[in-house]
Structure 1
């Protein structure tokens, strides 16, 4: 069975180690600043996407109902002193509310479907001692595992140099699980890792 086509762009770049620097395309990382190099499978946050859609659906429904009732009240009060033949602006506000609700619903649905249809990616992650992380992908998982070992060897061996062709992917971190999640007592906003 063939893997599902990725909606994220996959771009081929060169990854090379030379002169104590790790180059990924045009970005470089000093080898001494690498904190961790590892392979993992990043999976889309499908459950969160569905829950976010349901939450938005409820909010859109509630706001639309309130605004539609408010539009109906404004419409009925504006018609109170006028003759019954004037209906020029009677449904204009209501139509605007419905159009805005439908647009918000379509946006939320498209966002949810893009996460539900996104494939899992096996990647090599390179974390630095600072906030930056590089993610590269490859056609074969064994190639990425071997590459992780080569980078670890280059950290220990200052003379190591090599060049390989890898793929980079552009993903939204809010749509994928990335790295480890740890449940911390006493912290706020922390989540546990589901296996």
Structure 2
């Protein structure tokens, strides 16, 4: 049977069996050779400090406050530029009218963007997540609509930590999780900027 060596394994390590790629939109979550793999990211089991489940709640209150603040600031700037444009219209009426039109078209586009951002958070649903925290800065986040499935994964990862010979694999779907839209709590840190990718079973 064909074999493949995963990048990062020593040259003298026995080759891994060839694996078909995960279907589009999914990622493999597996434990093998004392490593927890989330897609192509590897976490040594001995470095895992905590595995736990929690529920991420959408930041609806903050989204409303941010929306109102952005709208107020944008309208204040638009009205200010309109007043300035009106004052300069005495010398060049055509140019001032063009500037004012451009300002309000930009304001309208910004207001539409703010509404879309607000609705995306208001329509967001709570996410059940499994967090894998290491002794270093690395962090993995897995989400699922079924909290019982996440509890089972916690049990399987914990079993693998305690039993060196344990191995398992599940395939999970990948989704986009925007950290600005959810409360992550005091003990959950997202690394790598906004638009982080989580996994849902």
TM-score of the aligned structures, taking structure 2 as reference length: 0.75
> What SS is found at the alignment partner of 1:52?
helix
> Contact (CA 8 Å) 1:136, 1:167: kept in 2 or not?
no
Contact 1:137–1:167 (Cα < 8 Å) also in 2: no
- CA–CA distance in structure 2, aligned partners of residues 69 and 88 of structure 1: 15
The equivalent of 2:15 in structure 1 is: none
Equivalent position of 1:127 in the other structure: 133
2:118 corresponding residue in structure 1: 112
**Distance in 1, Cα, partners of 2:26 & 2:144:** 9
Task: Give 1:100's aligned residue.
Answer: 106
Equivalent of 1:34, from 11, 28, 48? 48
* Map of 2:165 onto structure 1: 159
1:147 aligned to 139, 147, 153, which one?
Answer: 153
Which sections of structure 2, spanning at least 5 residues, go unmatched?
A: 1-23, 188-201
How far has the Cα of 1:157 moved from its partner? 1.8
2:89/2:96 contact within 8 Å kept: yes
Contact 1:135–1:169 (Cα < 8 Å) also in 2:
no
1:13 corresponding residue in structure 2: 27
How far apart are 1:139 and its partner, in Å? 4.6
TM-score normalised per structure 1: 0.77
Q: Distance in 1 between matches of 2:76 and 2:26?
A: 46
Residue 129 of structure 1: how far off its partner (Å): 2.1
> 2:136, 2:66 → 1: CA distance?
31
CA contact (8 A) 1:123 1:144 kept: yes
CA contact (8 A) 2:127 2:145 kept: no
Q: Is the 8 A contact 2:127 2:144 kept in 1?
A: no
Deviation beyond 6 Å, 4+ runs, structure 1: none
